[in-house]
Structures are given as structure tokens and as C-alpha cells.
Amino acid sequence: MANCIRCGRQLPGFSFGKKICQWCRQHEAYQRGEVPDDAPQTVMPTPWVRRRESTIGLTQIIFGINAAVFLGMALSSGTVLDFPWEEAIRWGANYGPLTLNGEWWRLLTNVFIHQGIIHFAFNMWCLWNLGQLCESLYGRWTYAAIYLTCGLGASLASVAWHPNGSSVGASGAIFGLAGALITALKLGEFSVPRSALSGTLRSLGAFVVYNLIFGFVLPGVDNTAHIGGLITGLIVGALIALIAPQQDQAPRRIVVFLVMILALAGGAIGTAYHYGVPLRLGRVNYERSANVPERAPTHSAIHDLSVHAD
């Protein structure tokens, strides 16, 4: 998509031969005296400047949900350092035997659960930085859809690779935000100045590489969820950049997310089939879910699970 040679804003689709946007043409006409002094001039904010839709952004709302869940778990368990796994599962952790046997909502609820104060603090620090950038560039509802879709992709990858373990944390969804921003910026979705573009891409690349290496070197980090979220974000970001780059193309973006949800649903069905689990939706008790092989790490630390029926 072409950009204005004056201000760098994206030109509308099918702007063949046009090099200057409508705002710049109007501004230049005003400077030449061709427009009356009292004529209204449209104000078009630059795409890289945050648009304040309200005093509280969606990133702060997501942060608040995570903080509320963390506080509830702390009050319930009596600690903030490392919650018992029974507590995490009770609050909605992605515990494979329960998830695969019908409690599929755990693929999403676990994104708002953390295993302890260090896990929570690190993920929220990353969310605060990446989330606000993603929200300012994509807009509120698209950002929310990207975050939730990438969280689902991360959780599905984790439970598919570790079907008998429990996984929690927002890191998979945060990796997804990084992936979406990388492909969007590489494919030219946003009219960001070249200097800011290169610096942002370097920062995003360093974030991804460093944390993946960190996950492979240190025991206990669920890199499967990180990679699953990253790949989901890369795909979502590319599809939006190619099909619906403008924020006013809501129907196209809705189609993109519907396709992604259907693809993830297909992956969930395939995972259940692979492990020979009957496809169902509903609550499960621990006894009915005790014979799925292998254990899984959390998003931040591996824990040996010995959870049985209460």
C-alpha cells in the first residue's frame, strides 16, 4: 500500500498515481491562500500516535483482570510466591486431562492466571509495554481479538505437546502480540517513520529471540506455548496486513479472526482425536481424566503434578 510522500500516512486502496494524501493537499491549498481562513480543516492524527478512546486503555483493563485473579488466588491460598497447583487448576489452569476431556474454556482462562508473584510481575511488565504499542496501532477491538486469539493458539500448542500437564500465564498471548507487530510492520501495514520502524523491529526481534533462548536454556519455561503464541501472532498479523490493513475495514478483520478461530478449533479436534479422547464439552472430574500420558511445564516453571480427585 502506498504512503504519502509528505507525511507518510497510508493512502487509500487503489490510489494509483497519487503521492500526496487528502490532508496534505488540503493543507497546501490553505498555505497558498486557496482556502478561506475560516474554512474547517480536517485533523488527521498520525498513525503512530496513540488515540485515546477513553481514559483507561484496554491494556490497563487486561492488566486489571490479571491483577484481580492474582489477588484472588493469593487470598485463597495464603501465599504470593508460588501457588499450589491444585489452586491454579481450580482457578482455570490449562490442565491437559481436564481440557482435552471437555473443559476447553481452560485454553482461555489460563491466560489470566499466574503461578506466583515473579511470574505475574514479569508477564505484566511485558504486557504493559507491548500491549500499549499494539493497542495504539491496531485499535481497541482488533487488539483484544489478537490477544485472545494468540492466547488460544499458545494454550492449544501447550496442551497438544504436553497433554498431561498444567500450564498458566499470559506469556503465550504476549508473544502473539510481538509476532503480530513484526509481520504488520514488515509488510507495511502502519505508516511509521523509517527510523521508528527499524528501531521497533529490532526491539521486537530482540524480545522474541532473547526469551526463546531463555526458555530453552532454563528448565521450567513452556516454550511450546511461547512458540504457539508467536506463530499464531505472525499469521494473524500477516492476514490483517494483507487483507484488512485499515481500521475501518472491520468486516474483513472479522473474517480473519473467524478463520483463525475455525483453524484453532480444528486443531483442538485433531489433538483430542490424536490422544483418543472423545470430543465433548462439559465439566470433568479428576478421576475421569487421569490416564492421558506425559506431563507439561507451566509458562514459567515446570511442576511435577500429582493432582487427584478431591
Catalytic entry in 114, 119, 226, 303: 226
Catalytic entry in 171, 191, 289, 300: 171
E strands, 165-228, in order: 166-167
Phi, psi (rounded to 5 degrees) for 194: -55, -40
- Which residues, in sequence order, are CB contacts of 257 under 8 Å at separation 6+? 145, 149, 236
- Which residues, in sequence order, are CB contacts of 203 under 8 Å at separation 6+? none
Residue 162 a catalytic site member: no
E strands, 82-148, in order: 94-95
Residue 171 a catalytic site member: yes
CA dist 305 and 189 (Å) reads: 44
DSSP state of 112: G
Q: Is 90 exposed, middle or buried (0-12, 13-18, 19+ CB in 10 A)?
A: middle
Task: Give the residue numbers annotated as catalytic, written as ranges.
Answer: 171, 226
